[in-house]
Amino acid sequence: MKPDVRPLPSPPPLAGEGRVGANVAATLAELNAQQHASSLEVLRVFLRLGLTSFGGPVAHLGYFRAEFVERRRWLDEPAFADIVALCQFLPGPASSQVGISLGILRAGLPGAFAAWLGFTMPSALAMILFGYGVTTFRDLSQAAWLHGLKIVAVAVVAQAVWGMARNLCPDRERGTIAVGAAILALAIPSAAGQIGAILAGGLIGWGVLRNGAVAQPGAPLAIHLPRRWSVAAALAFLVLLFGLPLLSAAVPSHTLALFDSFYRSGALVFGGGHVVLPLLQAEVVPPGWVSNDAFLAGYGAAQAVPGPLFTFAAYLGTVMGPAPDGWIGGLICLVAIFLPSFLLLIGALPFWDRLRRRPAVQSALRGVNAAVVGLLLAALYKPVWTSAIFAPADFAIGIVAFLLLALWAVPPWLVVVLGAVAASAMASLL
């Protein structure tokens, strides 16, 4: 006879047990909605900064610190310092890269795009509109106000050289590296000479400046991305850097050549927006894509708009001689010059905390930074000085502009306006 086995009674259901699946789905939907809302918040905040952040990369970092560390408390001081250290280490526009990193911290990769879009688009649109104005008057040689913009560019680059040399070349070893880089860049006036100067500076720094590099402790970087994304982004950066020149040589396409030139410039610029000047000049002026007058006039105008100086690329794409030009060319150049920053940040963020503590890396970086000062010094002479200073009146306007920028701390946009007005007045009097 079989024993009478009866199933145990089921325990009473826990409160809400039947709704666990629904709760999980609701939580995931809420997180997605929060990320979307955070992306819109990032876009709104950075759009306001993009409309009001005058003064160049150093000033931008000050605005970011006040907004995100002190006011909104998105991150603390050590985390912000870590992000700035990474973006100073990588090539590209440091202030834009800090903004992209803050967007990743707040809302992931959608936040990165929102931060870039908000901070970049106001000045990019202004530069595209200025480019359309320049193309309306093709003969720029007789425009006195545009000549004033070129004179102001002399003062702006001189101030950048002066400030960067004080910070990045404080000793005779790095001063020697800077002078050697300037001589090499002038002797080989092409992208090859500039890249060679950067590589030589890094190698010399690695071998000579080791005693001065001390690893700095700090809290781990508070941004985490999947390693596979980082590896894929780093590989994409390298494939585009070395593959685009080969593809451009094999395929006769101006669009491809344009994207290659601006991508390479964005991938090899150490030291911020002003340093992109010699690289871009070597890429677009010798082939005849942009005249030297139009190039320097646009660079002068770029000082009068807020946001990153790299939006100068949008102007160059707009005034380009061969198609694509206009706003389409401007957008192509803008995307190409900023794309390396996105790929490098995604590729470097998970590994930066360990890498930045290595003395050899810091030594090489010191040499690279000194070489960057030399490249900017060479650019100050040619093409900036040689294309703008022709008479004592030009020199007078230039030194007054430098005085206003360096010692009186007059806003750059106001110096640009005053330079254009002064050059026009001089032209009417002389």
The answer, yes or no, to whether residue 326 has pLDDT greater than 60, is yes
The answer, yes or no, to whether residue 54 has pLDDT greater than 60, is yes
pLDDT value for 117: 95
What tokens were used for 142?
């007789």
The answer, yes or no, to whether residue 123 has pLDDT greater than 90, is yes
Concatenate the DSSP letters of all residues of 102-158 into one string.
Answer: HHHHHHHHHHHHHHHHHHHHHHHHHHHHHHHHHHHS---TT-HHHHHHHHHHHHHHH
Give 22 or 83, the one with higher predicted confidence.
Answer: 83
Q: Taking residues 8-22, report their average pLDDT.
A: 48
**pLDDT of 227-278, one tens digit each?**
888 899 999 999 999 999 999 888 888 899 999 999 998 988 776 666 777 7
pLDDT value for 333: 93
The answer, yes or no, to whether residue 5 has pLDDT greater than 50, is no
Highest mean pLDDT among 46-55, 67-76, 399-408: 399-408
Predicted confidence band of residue 6 (pLDDT cuts 50, 70, 90):
very low
Lowest mean pLDDT among 34-48, 100-114, 416-430: 34-48
Per-residue CA distances from 230 to 192, 226, 237, 345 (Å): 29, 7, 11, 8
Q: Taking residues 191-207, report their average pLDDT.
A: 85
Query: 140 and 294 in contact (C-beta within 8 Å)?
Result: yes
Share of the chain above pLDDT 70, in %: 82
Contacts of 427 by beta carbon, 8 Å cutoff, 6+ apart: 144, 147
pTM of the predicted model, to two decimals? 0.71
Give 233 or 133, the one with higher predicted confidence.
Answer: 233
Q: Taking residues 158-164, report their average pLDDT.
A: 83
The answer, yes or no, to whether residue 327 has pLDDT greater than 70, is yes
Query: 376 and 161 in contact (C-beta within 8 Å)?
Result: yes
**pLDDT of 268-318, one tens digit each?**
877 666 677 777 888 888 888 998 888 888 888 887 788 888 999 999 999
Q: Taking residues 385-414, report their average pLDDT.
A: 89
Mean pLDDT of the chain: 81
Predicted confidence band of residue 409 (pLDDT cuts 50, 70, 90):
confident
pLDDT value for 184: 94
pLDDT value for 28: 44
Give 88 or 144, the one with higher predicted confidence.
Answer: 144
**pLDDT of 55-108, one tens digit each?**
677 668 778 888 888 788 888 777 787 777 678 778 888 889 989 999 988 888
Closest CA to 44 of 129, 125, 124, 107: 107
Please state, in angstroms and rounded to a whole number, the distance separating the CA atoms of residues 264 and 237.
Answer: 10
The answer, yes or no, to whether residue 179 has pLDDT greater than 70, is yes
Please state, in angstroms and rounded to a whole number, the distance separating the CA atoms of residues 100 and 117.
Answer: 9
Per-residue CA distances from 178 to 65, 173, 205 (Å): 30, 9, 11
The answer, yes or no, to whether residue 22 has pLDDT greater than 70, is no
pLDDT value for 219: 55
At CA 195, angle to CA 365 and CA 379, rounded to 5? Answer: 95
Q: Taking residues 10-14, report their average pLDDT.
A: 48
Domain ranges of the chain: 143-210+223-429
pLDDT value for 140: 56
